């Protein structure tokens, strides 16, 4: 038999060997399952259960036999609202503080009262009766069923009384779901839900049971009793001060049954080794309902999962500042800021008010967000398989929120994975403007809704920091049918026909006539026509490689050159049929920086109401540019005439909104009112 030529059987073998040796272009970064372990790769874990199911996470299911405090290991012991607690994040960090007549008491070690150790406690001492409060903030609401406290289990008072029998004769315990403003002098006001108000107690171990309800804040206050009469003196300031105060507390105890409304898991800032593009986000999750102590798979359980991401080019998304001798700020390292610098606020003695140090060397200045090297947290992903649409990065952080709307329903997250691939370029920047208004006032492109308009889109790639293969495709998503007008290349804006243009349902796919690489990297300008129908539209764009099976690389809205002045891919729509009910709408200050430094911390909205037959409810809604309402300010009923309202920059959960561009809508909530008035608003820190 005649043998086939060697090339006939060698070619398939060489192809097979080449395919096996070629590196995979699309990889996966994974948590859970066969990927990284959930435990040990986190920086925040709030009511997250790692133990019930190996390689998965789920909310902690609290039981009335185990104190809620035993599930918390990241307490912050807060001294005063004016203090800047390093790394404190509202809604993620539990905290505890003592106030004495509205003044933080640095002599108290709050950790001893929730550490689960009945031998550690703060000895009773002279205090202002009924002016002392301990407040515990769990960061999230839990389905609470009981609150109590116990004395130390060993030791004696100075009069020989065993501490184990030392009871608190009178006390008050209150609670709330949301933070509440002070209403009484000294900020010792009770919270909205009264758990217990006891005038006569003789039991050293106290437990108050109540109906199951979501609660987040708990406040304990010592009350005056008949047993305190011979231990109290009246000071010159008309304050009742006790000495040798009876009643020793070793542990506060809180009990719950069910899962918290939110459980938070946040990864460490993870180094990926090299810059990558991100594709889609996937996860595997299952919903459950606890039935008689057993989790039962329940697809319609009132629970859900949200995932947020941010990516960066260095290991810290914050920028730390110190004051210089000029009063201006300079950037310093985090270690120097945290350990070498003093806080801005100081108290001369325990009863003095806080005073602010002069801005000078050695004093902490602001902490900013490094938006040049980090993206802000993404909008929450609520469905698996969605494209991430974040700029490339070398570092990654993921935040998972497990939410429950029912005491006994929860979601278990088994694994989460993210597509990654090598870069096509170090960076691709783009900005867009109206063709006939390339330098809009304020740098914001505003257009009338529903009109056919022409836009100019400038693009520039950067290959300096990486050896990347480049790209030859550009996709522009406008959200609607789009007409290609022209392609211009180079500094001279030479009009060049593209290799191919495909009209997609929500934009354009343009095949460039030449591949963009390090060696051939001209400025790119696209002119196209489309209509805008949304109040806020971002022309999400990406570059692709038709020759390789890799992920697209998002175009980042940034400054491309002097020809356009928007530095952005965003377009705001304006309804020219403005209502006559609201006029003279103004915002102040022009730069809104709600960072707690006392400067431009509050947005003041002034306006006039016209032609109202009666008082109507007015509200200011704040929206992110993807259409989510992120804050709501109720102004109440208002009549015709000049009016105003104020906003502190916080969302509906009390958290400060991240810096960025938002849309505000002032709305009359009445059947005769027309459309709300929308205005762009920038928040900076």
Q: With a threshold of 0.85, does the pTM exceed it?
A: no
In this structure, the number of other CB atoms found within 10 A of the CB of residue 50 comes to 18
* 3-class state of residue 70 by DSSP: helix
Element (H, E) at 11: helix 6-21
Residues 6 or more apart whose Cβ sits within 8 Å of residue 554 = 277, 389, 390, 391, 392, 428, 540, 541, 542
Q: Is the dihedral of CA 427, 428, 432, 438 positive or negative?
A: positive
Q: How many domains does the chain have?
A: 5
- pLDDT for the residue 1: 32
Which residue bears the tokens 């150790």? Answer: 117
Strand 445-448 and strand 570-574: pairing? parallel
Backbone conformation region of residue 238, classed left if phi is above 0, alpha if psi is from -120 to 50, else beta: left
In a domain, 512, yes or no: yes
Q: Is residue 2 part of a domain?
A: no
State the 10-residue block means of pLDDT for the chain, 685 residues long: 36 36 72 93 94 93 95 77 59 84 60 88 67 88 97 86 91 89 58 93 96 96 78 58 75 97 96 94 97 96 96 92 88 91 69 69 86 89 92 95 97 97 95 96 86 96 92 94 96 94 95 96 97 85 93 94 93 68 83 79 85 78 81 85 87 80 82 66 83
If asked whether residues 270 and 402 sit together in one domain, one would say yes
Residue 17 lies in a domain: no
DSSP 8-state class, residue 217: E
Tokens of 188: 């010792």
Q: Among 574, 603, 618, identify where a domain stops.
A: 574
Same domain, 90 and 207: yes
Is 630 inside a domain boundary? yes
The burial of 206, by beta-carbon neighbours within 10 Å (0-12 exposed, 13-18 middle, 19 or more buried), is given as: buried
Same domain for 137 and 208: yes
Residue 11 maps to a domain:
no
The pLDDT of residue 365 is: 85
Cα–Cα distance, 676 to 669 (Å, whole number): 9
Q: Which secondary structure element, helix H or strand E, spans residue 411, and what is its range?
A: strand 409-422
Rg of the chain over Cα atoms, rounded to whole angstroms, equals: 30
In a domain, 9, yes or no: no
Q: Are 396 and 447 in the same domain?
A: no
Q: Are residues 625 and 503 in the same domain?
A: no
Residues 306 and 413 in one domain: yes
- Prior bond to 524 cis, omega within 30? no
| Dist. CA 553–CA 532, nearest whole Å | 25
CA distance 498 to 511: 6
User: Looking at the structure, do residues 267 and 390 belong to the same domain, yes or no?
Assistant: yes
Instruction: Give the SS3 label for residue 461.
Output: strand
Q: In this structure, are 433 and 521 located in the same domain? A: yes
Residue 168 lies in a domain: yes
Question: By residue range, what is the domain housing residue 388?
Answer: 27-59+262-315+374-422
Q: What is the pLDDT of residue 18?
A: 36
- Contact status, residue 473 vs residue 553, Cβ threshold 8 Å: no
**Domain co-membership, 215 together with 274:** no
User: In 3-state terms, what secondary structure has residue 679?
Assistant: strand
pLDDT of residue 152: 93
Question: Is 662 part of any domain?
Answer: yes
50 with 93, same domain: the answer is no
CA distance 196 to 214: 17
CA 604 to chain CA mean position, Å: 24
Domain boundary among 387, 422, 457: 422
CATH number, domain containing residue 537: 2.60.40.10
CB count within 10 Å of CB 314 equals 14
* CATH classification of the domain holding 45: 2.60.120
Are residue 566 and residue 666 in the same domain, yes or no?
A: no
Q: Which secondary-structure segment (H or E) carries 601?
A: none
Predicted pLDDT at 483: 96
Which of 574, 602, 620 corresponds to the end of one domain? 574
Q: Are residues 628 and 555 in the same domain?
A: no
């Amino acid at each position: 038999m005649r043998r086939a030529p060697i090339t006939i059987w060698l070619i398939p073998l060489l192809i097979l060997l080449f395919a096996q040796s070629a590196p995979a272009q699309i990889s996966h970064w994974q948590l859970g399952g066969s990927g990284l372990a959930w435990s040990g790769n986190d920086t925040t874990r709030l009511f997250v259960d790692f133990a019930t199911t190996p390689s998965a996470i789920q909310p902690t299911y609290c039981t009335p036999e185990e104190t809620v405090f035993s599930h918390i290991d990241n307490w912050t012991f807060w001294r005063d609202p004016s203090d800047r607690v390093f790394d404190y994040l509202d809604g993620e960090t539990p905290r505890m503080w003592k106030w004495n007549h509205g003044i933080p008491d640095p002599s108290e070690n709050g950790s001893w009262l929730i550490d689960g150790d009945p031998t550690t406690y703060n000895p009773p001492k002279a205090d202002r009766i009924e002016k002392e409060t301990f407040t515990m903030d769990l960061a999230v609401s839990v389905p609470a069923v009981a609150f109590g406290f116990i004395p130390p289990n060993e030791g004696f008072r100075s009069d020989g009384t065993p501490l184990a029998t030392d009871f608190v004769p009178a006390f008050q315990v209150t609670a709330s779901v949301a933070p509440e403003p002070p209403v009484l002098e000294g900020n010792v006001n009770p919270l909205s839900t009264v758990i217990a108000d006891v005038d006569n107690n003789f039991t050293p171990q106290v437990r108050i049971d109540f109906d199951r309800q979501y609660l987040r804040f708990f406040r304990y206050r010592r009350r005056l009793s008949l047993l305190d009469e011979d231990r109290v003196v009246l000071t010159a300031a008309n304050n009742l001060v006790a000495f040798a105060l009876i009643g020793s507390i070793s542990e506060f105890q809180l009990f719950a049954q069910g899962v918290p409304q939110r459980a938070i898991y946040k990864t460490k800032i993870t180094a990926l080794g090299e810059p990558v593009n991100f594709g889609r986000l996937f996860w595997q999750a299952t919903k459950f309902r606890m039935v008689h102590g057993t989790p039962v798979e329940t697809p319609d359980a009132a629970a859900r999962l949200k995932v947020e991401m941010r990516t960066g080019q260095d290991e810290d998304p914050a920028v730390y500042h110190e004051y210089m001798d000029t009063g201006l700020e300079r950037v310093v390292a985090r270690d120097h800021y945290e350990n070498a610098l003093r806080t801005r606020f100081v108290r001369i003695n325990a009863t003095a008010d806080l005073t602010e140090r002069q801005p000078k060397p050695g004093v902490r200045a602001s902490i900013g967000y490094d938006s040049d090297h980090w993206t802000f947290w993404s909008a929450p992903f609520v469905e698996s398989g969605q494209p991430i649409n974040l700029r490339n990065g070398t570092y990654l952080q993921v935040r998972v929120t497990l939410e429950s709307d029912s005491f006994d329903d929860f979601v278990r997250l088994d694994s989460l994975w993210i597509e990654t691939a090598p870069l096509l370029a170090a960076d691709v920047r783009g900005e867009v403007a109206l063709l006939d208004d390339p330098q809009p006032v304020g740098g914001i492109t505003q257009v009338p809704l529903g009109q056919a308009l022409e836009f100019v889109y400038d693009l520039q790639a950067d290959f300096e920091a990486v050896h990347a293969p480049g790209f030859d495709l550009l996709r522009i998503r406008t959200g609607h049918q789009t007409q290609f007008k022209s392609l211009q290349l180079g500094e001279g804006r030479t009009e060049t026909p593209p290799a191919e243009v495909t009209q997609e349902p929500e934009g354009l796919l343009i095949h460039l006539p030449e591949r963009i690489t390090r060696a051939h990297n001209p400025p790119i300008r696209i002119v196209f026509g489309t209509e805008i129908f949304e109040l806020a539209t971002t022309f999400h764009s990406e570059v692709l490689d038709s020759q390789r099976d890799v992920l697209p690389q998002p175009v980042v809205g940034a400054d491309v050159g002097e020809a356009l002045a928007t530095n952005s891919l965003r377009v705001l729509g304006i309804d020219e049929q403005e209502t006559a009910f609201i006029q003279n709408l103004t915002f102040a200050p022009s730069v809104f920086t709600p960072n707690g430094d006392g400067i431009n911390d509050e947005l003041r909205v002034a306006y006039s109401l016209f032609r109202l037959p009666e008082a109507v409810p007015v509200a200011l809604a704040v929206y992110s540019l993807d259409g989510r309402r992120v804050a709501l300010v109720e102004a109440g009923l208002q009549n015709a005439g000049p009016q105003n309202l104020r906003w502190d920059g916080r969302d509906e959960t009390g958290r400060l909104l991240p810096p960025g561009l938002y849309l505000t809508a002032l709305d009359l909530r009445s059947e005769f009112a027309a459309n709300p008035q929308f205005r762009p608003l920038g928040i900076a820190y």
